[in-house]
Amino acid sequence: MTEKIVLDPDSGIAPYEQLRTQLSELA
């Protein structure tokens, strides 16, 4: 599973986008 995340950049970027959306709503 760890290797999949490393090979799949989208998997690592998806969570960051969600956090950004949450921060935007709070701001």
The owner of tokens 């956090």 is 19
Look at residue 24 in the predicted model and tell me its pLDDT.
85
Look at residue 23 in the predicted model and tell me its pLDDT.
80
> Quick count: other Cβ atoms within 10 Å of Cβ 7?
8
In angstroms, the CA 6 to CA 9 distance is 6
In angstroms, the CA 3 to CA 17 distance is 21
What is the chain's length? 27
pLDDT single digits (tens) 1-27: 556 555 666 666 667 777 788 888 876
Look at residue 6 in the predicted model and tell me its pLDDT.
59
Residue 12 contacts residue 5 (beta carbons within 8 Å): yes
